[in-house]
Amino acid sequence: MDSDERLLHFKGFNFERSTVDIDILENLEDFDIRDDDVFIITYPKSGTIWTQQILSLIYFETHRKQTENVETADLVPSLEYNIRKVDFTKRPSPRVFCSHLPYYLVPNGLKNKKAKIVYIYRNPKDVITSYFHFSNFVAVLEGCENMDMFIHKFLDGKVAGSLWFDHVKGWYEHRHKFNILFVSYEEMKKDLKSAVQKLCNFLGKELSDDDVDAVVRQATFKNMKSDSRANLSNILKKEVGTKSDGHFMRKGTIGDWKNHFTVAQSERFDMIFQRKMKDIPLKFIWDINEE
Ligand code: A3P
């Protein structure tokens, strides 16, 4: 099957066809936003399930204290990849969603600036590396023979999520229209506790020190990898399907791109990055040892 069949091109943006909820897409603009809704927005492979886990631990005491056995993805569902066909209008507040939507497709109600958006971004060489492996792991995506082919595909925007540059730049350049906080994957990785506190401040959630520690503990890579509620293993196995051995929680680090990019690929990418991102002052961290 070629990539065009697996991708649904809708209003200028590529979705993964088999898991996206068409009814939601067609009514996105009017999707009713509540003032206390929270959205995690990401380009794919930038730390979505990690942030779903962090926010569900912040918001839902039963999750934090492990007194109920509910999947993180059910507590913080995807708006457009609503694979369980949940009726979101019946969900109690506060509702926490995740989404890969570009700024111009999100529900209009988010522009009331009351509902909050946490935008997570990651250095794009690690996004590419993660996405390359993910494409060869999940059944619903087109696999790719080698990194070079995948880099081309990514730079052409021929993947679910379309062009990374458009996503990040679009959200950054239109940030004034929304109540939005930008957080990088790398700052979460380097100092998870500070990132959790920053998120709590933005979300207006006052957690005790013990509760912050409980959030951090349950959101580390190691603990999420062994927690089937948090690591998507059930959903991947039963609902999405996989085509090779692997794990959604693959490496969870900064700079794995160095093990996969050639020097020439890296230099070419840097040139494009510098040209396209020159007006965007977001800080990108490419190496685990970088400050
Ligand atoms: P890698 O493939 O580089 O390991 P998304 O949820 O947006 O699809 O992002 C998936 C990436 O986030 C994967 O990256 C995954 O390992 C990483 N990730 C998930 N939870 C993490 C955690 N607790 N700490 C660090 N990385 C995490």
Name the closest-CA residue to atom 19, ligand 1.
Answer: 50
- The pLDDT of residue 175 is 98
Instruction: Find the 90 Cα to ligand 1 centroid distance in Å.
Output: 30
Residue 108: per-residue pLDDT? 97
pLDDT digits (tens, 9 = 90+) for 169-180: 999 999 999 999
> CA-CA distance, 62 to 37, in Å (whole number)?
19
At residue 239, the pLDDT reads 80
Calculate the CA dihedral of residues 77, 82, 87, 92 and round it to 10 degrees. 10
* Mean pLDDT value of segment 234-262: 90
Return d(Cα 156, Cα 163) in angstroms, integer. Answer: 7
pLDDT at residue 1, as a whole number: 46
Q: Say which range, 119-123, 130-134, 138-142, has the weakest mean pLDDT.
A: 138-142
Q: What DSSP letter does each residue of 82-103 carry, written as one string?
A: -TT---GGGSPSSPEEEE---G
Residue 74 has pLDDT above 70, yes or no: yes
122: Cβ below 6 Å to ligand 1? no
What band does 238 get if pLDDT is binned at 50, 70 and 90? confident
Q: pLDDT tier at 154 (50, 70, 90 boundaries)?
A: very high
Cα 149 to Cα 23: distance, rounded to the nearest angstrom: 33
β-partners of residue 38 are: 96, 116
Residue 100 a catalytic site member: yes
Distance (Å) from CA 291 to ligand 1 centroid: 21
CA 104 to ligand 1 centroid distance, Å:
26
Q: Which atom of ligand 1 is nearest to the CA of 224?
A: 23
What domains sit in the chain, N to C, each tagged with a CATH number?
Answer: 3-276 (3.40.50.300)
Distance CA 8, CA 20 (A): 9
Ligand 1 pocket residue status of 161, Cβ below 6 Å:
no
Which pLDDT tens digit goes with each residue over 252-269? 999 999 999 999 999 999
Using pLDDT thresholds of 50, 70 and 90, give the confidence band for residue 3: low
Q: Ligand 1 centre from 102 Cα, in Å?
A: 20
User: Strand, coil or helix: what is 116?
Assistant: strand
Examine the pLDDT at 34 and tell me if it is beyond 50: yes
Average pLDDT of the chain, as a whole number: 95
Phi and psi at residue 177, to the nearest 5°: -85, -10
Band (233; pLDDT cuts 50, 70, 90):
confident
Alpha helices per DSSP H over 103-243: 124-135, 147-155, 164-173, 185-190, 192-203, 209-218, 221-225, 233-235
CB 212 within 8 A of CB 64: no
Closest residue by Cα to atom 10, ligand 1, is 45
188 lines ligand 1 (CB under 6 A): no
Query: How confident is the model at residue 235, as a pLDDT?
Result: 83
- How many Cβ atoms from other residues are within 10 Å of residue 26's Cβ? 11
